[in-house]
Amino acid sequence: MAGRSLLTPDIPMAVPKRRTSRARRGNRRLHLKIESASLVKCSNCSTKIRPHTVCSACGHYRGKQVTPGSGA
């Protein structure tokens, strides 16, 4: 029963030979962490904003006013 494929009962299912150690599991998950968001300075008001986004403080994008914003 256990370890047998449901579709082809005669062929045993592929199963891991060894238990993954804590170190190996940790190494695999090493890159799964969430990175902090990258921030750039707004060219108009120097507030830190995410790249390629309209500044939420002054409403500028690529040197142009595109939305009203809060301070302008």
**In the complex, which residues of this chain contact Zn ion (CB under 5 A)?**
42, 44-45, 47, 55, 57-58, 60
| Residue 20 or 46 having the CB closest to Zn ion | 46
Which pairing describes strands 40-41 and 48-49: parallel, antiparallel, or unpaired?
A: antiparallel
Minimum gap (Å) between residue 55 Cβ and Zn ion: 3
| Residue 33 or 62 having the CB closest to Zn ion | 62
| Residue 12 or 42 having the CB closest to Zn ion | 42
The DSSP string of 25-63 is HHHHGGG-SPPPPP-EE-TTT--EE-TTS--TTT-EETT
